[in-house]
Structure 1
Amino acid sequence: MNILILCTGNSCRSILAEATINALAPEGIRAISAGSKPAGYVHPRSLALLEREGISTQGLHSKSWDNLPMTPDVVITVCGSAAGETCPAYLGPVLRAHWGVEDPAHATGTDAEIDAAFEKAYRILRGRIEAFLALPPDLLADKARLKPELDRIGLIGA
């Protein structure tokens, strides 16, 4: 199963999800992230957080959805709503779900407050990823049954 984690800038949330899925998923499930308007860099706080969690950051980079090295089976958008973000709409015959998380790159305040925003986004995404990876393999193979589960998972931690 190929999972595309989609966001606008591909510098924070989608990168966190890509790295976490690839670190936790069993063989046969692969994630890649991309953006409709990639920032061109991975936010340093995202990289630092992943390293603290023991998740590899090797090869992570901000990339466009125009040049994907695989065809996704599932597309998960992670754009939030508080900042009025518009999630990009992937136009392919795939299963889609929305797991909205507020963008920690827009956090303001002290270093500790900004770090807390990154940690919150990561914890929400990780909880959803763990719930997804706990689904039975037969359910993952059945798109009709998988869609409502993906939608339900997208509400975890919201």
Structure 2
Amino acid sequence: MDINLGFDDIEGYETRSRYFGAVIGRVANRTAGGKFTLDGKEYSLAVNNGPNALHGGLKGFDKVVWKSSVTDDKLVLTYVSADGEEGFPGEVTTTVTYQLTNDNKLIIDYTATTTKATPVNLTNHSYFNLAGQGSANVFDHVSDSKCKQLYTSR
């Protein structure tokens, strides 16, 4: 069953960015005007969405090569974003851990450590169709009421 929207080959990901399945960062969503102020200093970011910085800029976390490893039953991805990358202050070391449990739950954990004060807002950009391939009716999707509770409590 195909429950995640994406391309059938690597070329699709390289040539038609839709952020399918991507880790988004340093900052998910748009930074208005490609600027922010932190501790009294204004920072200018790489803009890629009109006047705004979208999903980390021209080369956000979705366009970099992550180190990967498998530990126990988890896929662990690590990326170190340099101080000044895309205009953001501070070095950021990010770890994303994916785990599929025996009871069919997907757990994604994010950890980020920084060397300076900096905005960090990470997310996963998957498009799920939990009813499987071909269903266009959202009411056919499967949900877990604990998911909303867990998400809002973190």
So what's the TM-score if we normalise by structure 2?
0.28
Q: Which has the larger radius of gyration?
A: 2
**Greater percentage in helix:** 1
